[in-house]
Structure 1
């Protein structure tokens, strides 16, 4: 799956440049672009500890905050009812403690996540052009700008790094046409199955390593244009 995600930019370029018989807006066009408002609702709990010499995670857990961002989806219809779709967005989160770590409200203050995702979708045509769909495909979460929070820097933590990892996404939604010129309304929900490993450092020494279940729901609504 990592090879597939590495090839994603080339695939998107090929899809974008592919010849399409419908150049103007059309409900039967090969390309569809969606501009969406999206809620990213992760978990963030600790599922494994592989290094914790000070026993910091005993009776403790963590959670990641929700975030709401604009997103862009690009979709190519291979057949009238089968398509491939990818999304583009950055979402920003912080990590806080729960349980014995509840007072630690700023464990990781800032992390940007790029959820590179490619899903294959099947659309069920209904009366009036309404098309509910289901989809599934691989995803890779890429992490940028991680910073240790004010709750752990007094303990000597100087750096935190999240490991990029590959997971899987399930998808369901519906496209509702508005007229016959390719405009529409889109509602979409994805459930990701994704873990990451957090590495905490004091100088060059790794002092804590924890694996976290992210498994976010990603729910979106917005406008679509097919051509």
Structure 2
């Protein structure tokens, strides 16, 4: 269903782009420092396996995004970083290991352009989180995450134009993300990560 929503949104964006006269395609590159605050809900009995609540530690990551303005108001943003190490803890044992995850997102944005140098925007899209290191050994046995995660993205942000090209950016996203947790191949439950990300950075439009 989420894939169908994104395909429909992209089709609408492509139709608008083809039929609205814009001066020319515009590009923006941003670099941000982003804090990931994970939801850490334990589902399917994950918090009842004798080690307490399982959680992923919040962390700061670098982020780069590339935006293409199809019209004055509509843009597509590709959000990228490199694989990030996420520490996994339990309330009884503390840190038990880590997984590595690569979480690119593609977002369709609407930019408000009638507020002078202040340019807020909203966006919706998809996130595909790829776990590149899925398991680690503990005293209990081998802990693993079972699947990559495809989720929805909701975004709210703003660019404060410092010059014609340079801007200060603030950005908040909510990403639905979860994965099944296993011990020696047996399912323990589901860890709902679903982070809220808050970032600040700079942008350059050309």
Q: TM-score range with shorter-chain normalisation?
A: 0.7 to 0.9
Pair member with larger Rg: 1
Structure 1 partner of 2:65: 73
Of 171, 174, 186, 2:158 maps to 174
Question: Kindly tell me: are residues 71 and 196 of structure 1, through their superposed partners in 2, closer, same or farther at Cα, counting changes over 3 Å?
Answer: same
* Distance of 2:105 and 2:176 partners within structure 1: 12
Structure 2 partner of 1:163: 147
TM-score (norm 1): 0.74
Does 1:33 pair with 2:29? yes
1:19-56 deviation digits (Å, cap 9, x = unpaired):
x977xxxxxx611000111111112231114xx8xx96
Aligned residues: 189
Q: Give matches, 1:14-163, under 5 Å.
A: 30-49=26-45, 57=49, 60-89=52-81, 90-97=83-90, 102-107=91-96, 109-148=97-136, 153-155=138-140, 157-163=141-147
Structure 2 partner of 1:193: 176
How many angstroms does 1:59 deviate by? 8.5
Asked if structure 2 preserves the Cα contact closer than 8 Å seen for 1:44 and 1:95, the reply is no
How many angstroms does 1:70 deviate by? 1.1
How many angstroms does 1:159 deviate by? 4.9
TM-score (norm 2): 0.81
Asked if structure 1 preserves the Cα contact closer than 8 Å seen for 2:42 and 2:190, the reply is yes
Structure 2 unaligned spans of 5+: 8-21
Structure 1 unaligned spans of 5+: 6-19, 23-28
Does 1:216 pair with 2:195? yes
Q: CA RMSD in A?
A: 2.5
Question: Kindly tell me: are residues 34 and 140 of structure 1, through their superposed partners in 2, closer, same or farther at Cα, counting changes over 3 Å?
Answer: same
User: After the TM superposition, which segments of 4 or more aligned residues of structure 1 sit over 6 Å from their partners?
Assistant: none
* Distance of 1:200 and 1:187 partners within structure 2: 39
